[in-house]
C-alpha cells in the first residue's frame, strides 16, 4: 500500500465511534471537511471553540498515523489550522491537543486533534 492509499478511508474499525461519524452513521456537528479529514464540534466543549479534527481513515493516534501515512498527518494539521481560522481564533491563539493512551485520557482510539480556543488557556495542563 502506498502512502497515498493509506489516506483513503479504506481502513475502518466497525466498533469505532469516529469511524461511524465519518460514515454519517452517528450524527455530528461537522464544521469542516476535506477528502481525507473531517472536523466536528466536541460534544462536551471545554472552551468557546472546541473542535475535533480527524482523519477519515482509522489510525489509532498521531504516531501511528505518522508511521503509516505521514501525508495524512499533515492533512489533519492543515485542517486544524483551517478550523482555527474559520472559528476566528487563528490570531488570538488556540491549542492543538492530541491525547495518546490511558494516562493521557485518550477515550477514542481514532486520531483526533482537539482544536481549543476562544478563551485564555492555562499552562501546564492538568
Ligand atoms: P479524548 O478523551 O482525547 O480521546 O477525546 C475524545 C473527545 O471526544 C472528548 O472530548 C469527547 O467529549 C468527544 N466525543 C465523544 N463522543 C462524541 C461525539 N459523539 N461527538 C463529538 N464529540 C464526541
Distance of CA 114 from the midpoint of ligand 1 (Å): 9
**Which atom number of ligand 1 is nearest to the Cα of residue 98?**
3
Q: Which helix (H) or strand (E) holds 40?
A: strand 37-41
Nearest CA to ligand 1 atom 17: 43
- The kind and range of the H/E element at 36 are none
Residue 108 Cα: closest atom of ligand 1: 4
Q: Grid coordinates 488556540 are at which residue? A: 94
pLDDT 10s digits, 11-60: 899 999 999 999 999 999 999 999 999 999 999 999 999 999 999 999 99
Domains in the chain (CATH in brackets) are 3-117 (3.30.428.10)
Q: Is 112 marked active-site? A: yes
CA end-to-end span of the chain: 39
The predicted pLDDT at position 4 comes to 47
Instruction: Say if residue 9's pLDDT is above 90.
Output: no
Amino acid at each position: 500500500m502506498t502512502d497515498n492509499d493509506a489516506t483513503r478511508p479504506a481502513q475502518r474499525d466497525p466498533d469505532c465511534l469516529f469511524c461511524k461519524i465519518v460514515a454519517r452513521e452517528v450524527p455530528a456537528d461537522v464544521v469542516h471537511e476535506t477528502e481525507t479529514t473531517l472536523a466536528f464540534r466536541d460534544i462536551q466543549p471545554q472552551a468557546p471553540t472546541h473542535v475535533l479534527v480527524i482523519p477519515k481513515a482509522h489510525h489509532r493516534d498521531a504516531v501511528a498515523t505518522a508511521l503509516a501515512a505521514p501525508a495524512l498527518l499533515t492533512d489533519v494539521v492543515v485542517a486544524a489550522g483551517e478550523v482555527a481560522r474559520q472559528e476566528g481564533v487563528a490570531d488570538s491563539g488556540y491549542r492543538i491537543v492530541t491525547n495518546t493512551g490511558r494516562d493521557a485520557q485518550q477515550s477514542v482510539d481514532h486520531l483526533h486533534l482537539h482544536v481549543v480556543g476562544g478563551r485564555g488557556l492555562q499552562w501546564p495542563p492538568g
